[in-house]
Amino acid sequence: MPTENSYKAGVLNLLVAHGEIDEITHMAVSAYMEKQNRCSLRTLLETHLYSETQLADKIGQYLKVSRMIDLKLEQIDTDFFKKIPFPLAKKNMVIALGYDELSPERIVLVMADPTREDIIQEIKQILGGPLTLAVAERSEIKRLINNAYPLELQLPTLFSI
């Protein structure tokens, strides 16, 4: 069973496994993660080792998931995104777009960090069906979440996130 720390280091471990990060950088990033209590995705961005675009590209490439670019509000099926509670979507930077055009029984879930198997399983239970994972830049997902969720769904939880 994966630990919380292995979930937090998912993107870092992915990049290390593919030779993108050397041992010394891995140790430095891990120390920063622990000291700042951050996940690896956020740490890699805060330390400017990678840009959001670079990270999303590499995650998509190595996990072999679709890379979503320029997400638009019109792409979202409102029946799906509202099923994921705002705090869960905002905290984990995830949004359900709707049914996959190529596999209509599957729901497209866009994530900043699709290494988070715990979040994938939780959302799979909420949505009640198989998922097609995609990756996008964290800021793109954040913008879409802020624009897609009505203010009345955001207000009760804004101060606790």
Q: Which domains does the chain have, with CATH numbers?
A: 4-50 (no CATH), 66-157 (3.30.300.160)
Q: What percent of the chain has pLDDT over 70?
A: 91
Separation CA 55–CA 10 (nearest Å): 12
Residue 4: pLDDT band by 50, 70, 90 thresholds?
very low
**Model pTM?**
0.85
pLDDT band with cut points at 50, 70 and 90 for residue 72: confident
Q: Which residues of 122-146 are buried (b: 16+ CB within 10 A; e: fewer)?
A: ebeeeeeeebbbbbbbbebbbebbe
Mean pLDDT of 103-112: 94
- Least confident range of 26-40, 98-112, 147-161: 147-161
